[in-house]
Amino acid sequence: MATLKSYEEFKKTWGGSNPPSDLSEALKAMWFAANDNWEASHDIAQEMYNETGSWIHAYLHRVEGDKFNAGYWYRKAGRSYPQSSLEQEHQEITEYLLGR
């Protein structure tokens, strides 16, 4: 599991071609999302069959601009459609994952 303790530390890993190898799959999905690799992030989220995967999946469809599909995945995740910015939600998801 990642030794990162904060979103700021997570942000410092951005910019390479691959995420740090010790990140969980969920954090790798968020890393790819932050590095504008929607497809790689989505591939990971699609294979996560739990509420966390659904939340990431919802976020990604929100990034894509597909409100209908995002809404479906937020419901699967047991969450309301957020009013926050995409950047704020990215941070919220990542901090949640780092705290687990």
Task: For residue 7, tell me if it sits in a domain.
Answer: no
Contact in structure between 56 and 92 (CB atoms under 8 Å): no
Task: For residue 10, tell me if it sits in a domain.
Answer: no
What is the C-alpha to C-alpha distance for residues 54 and 83, in angstroms, rounded to an integer?
A: 18
- 3-state DSSP call for residue 92? helix
Question: If we measure between CA atoms, which residue out of 36, 9, 15 comes closest to residue 97?
Answer: 9
Q: Between 9 and 1, whose confidence is greater?
A: 9
**What are the pLDDT digits (tens) for 60-98?**
999 999 999 999 999 999 999 999 999 999 999 999 999
Task: For residue 43, tell me if it sits in a domain.
Answer: yes
Q: Which domain holds residue 45?
A: 22-99
Task: For residue 40, tell me if it sits in a domain.
Answer: yes
Residue carrying the six token digits 């992030």:
41
pLDDT exceeds cutoff 90 at 100: no
Tokens representing 15?
């910019």
Task: For residue 2, tell me if it sits in a domain.
Answer: no
Task: For residue 33, tell me if it sits in a domain.
Answer: yes
pLDDT exceeds cutoff 70 at 44: yes
Read off the pLDDT of each residue in 29-58 and give the average, rounded to a whole number. Answer: 97
pLDDT exceeds cutoff 80 at 1: no
Contact in structure between 69 and 61 (CB atoms under 8 Å): yes
Contact in structure between 32 and 40 (CB atoms under 8 Å): yes
Tally of structural domains, the chain = 1
Task: For residue 78, tell me if it sits in a domain.
Answer: yes
Task: For residue 47, tell me if it sits in a domain.
Answer: yes
pTM score of the predicted model: 0.94
